[in-house]
Amino acid sequence: MIAILCGDALQSTVAGNLLWSTSRDTQEGIDATRLLNARSFPCFCIIVHHGSQQTVQLKLERYTDADECLAEIIYGVQHADQTLQYNRERRTMSDSRGRLLQEQNAAYLDSVRADQEKAEQRLREENERRKIEEEQQRKLQEFAVFRDRLKQTLPSEPSSTENETIQVSIRLPADDPIRRRFRRNDSAKLLFEFAWTNSNVPNQFELLWGYPRKRYQYDQIGDETIGDLMNGNTETCYLEQIDEDK
């Protein structure tokens, strides 16, 4: 059709803008003829989209002269430019809104993700804090049982008239000292066990005595007796709390 009517002129005007064509011998062509109200053939139409509507901008049914036909087509294309410009602006606006919506959605998802991460972090911290508290409570309960057992099993204090005894005073950091007599052949660990029976004594501590002062811890004492480590008849020990992981 293009080659017969106007050749290269129509080709350069329409070119890639000719999007669709059909024959009236097909069902598609019959439907198009009915919708476009075409009465003669060939029928050339320029259809533009205006928003959600489609408008027939030009309907050319009679080709009496090639130049006149081309002029009508050029006029139709130019006349449709306003609608095409509107469509371009509408598409640009739609694209801008689409990009803005994407940015807003991305920002929202980032915010939700950040909130979720914060919530998960708070949950982890709370779980960790609860575990620490539970572990501390468990250790306190175990130590309470341990203290009660020591009170029941601690050997009786020797009398003041008994020979081979040592009077030991254990000075506490914030309380009055505690005192007791021990037999020289008692295990040196008995000093710690006696201290533990006092409710003001922590579960982890070390004792310092002698000149120069030497530090002793319960687990570091082996088979030594009190007489092995203390020479006089009286001795003063200094109790210092230590960290549990020390």
Output b/e per residue, 106-134; b: 16+ Cβ within 10 A. Answer: eeeeeeeeeeeeeeeeeeeeeeeeeeeee
The structural domains of the chain, ordered by start, are 2-79 (3.40.30), 165-241 (3.10.20.90)
Length of the chain (residues): 246
Task: Find the mean pLDDT for residues 165-177.
Answer: 92
Strands (DSSP E) along 4-157, which ranges?
44-50, 53-60
pLDDT per residue as tens digits for the range 42-67? 667 766 665 556 667 676 666 666 67
Phi, then psi, of 130 in degrees rounded to 5: -65, -40
Is residue 119 over pLDDT 90? yes
pLDDT per residue as tens digits for the range 179-223? 999 999 999 999 999 999 998 999 899 999 988 899 999 999 999
Distance in angstroms (rounded) separating the CA atoms of residues 243 and 205:
8
Using alpha carbons, select from 194, 184, 195 the residue that is nearest to residue 225.
184
